[in-house]
Amino acid sequence: MKLRSDLKKFCSYMSGISRSAYLVIKWSLILSCISAAAALAVRLYIGDFSIRTVRLFLLSEELLTLPQSILLLGAILSVCVEELSTGGRR
């Protein structure tokens, strides 16, 4: 039940932000999903872990940690864009 109320709060917040801040959030979510899908594809491609697949395994590890960074930077940038577009008043 709490998830539903949190989702409603998030949706009402998203409807009130500027278009540019919305686009920053949207593109950060898209890039995060692409990175996670690429990590999964690399993991499925390499199959068993062996000495020959170490580099691909490390690549998939980095691709798997990348979405967290993208979302964090997207959230910070979105807040900055929103503050600049509204002039600091809400």
How far, CA to CA in Å, does 42 sit from each of 14, 29, 74? 34, 20, 25
Q: Do 78 and 25 meet the contact criterion of CB atoms below 8 Å apart?
A: yes
For the four alpha carbons of 82, 26, 6 and 66, in that order, the dihedral sign comes to: negative
Query: For 30-80, what is each residue's pLDDT tens digit?
Result: 999 999 999 999 989 988 888 888 999 999 999 999 999 999 999 899 989
**Cα within 13 Å of Cα(5), Cβ side:** 2
pLDDT at 27: 93
Q: What is the pTM of this model?
A: 0.76
Query: For 38-50, what is each residue's pLDDT tens digit?
Result: 999 998 998 888 8
Q: Do 29 and 4 meet the contact criterion of CB atoms below 8 Å apart?
A: no
* Distance from the Cα of residue 34 to its chain's centroid: 9
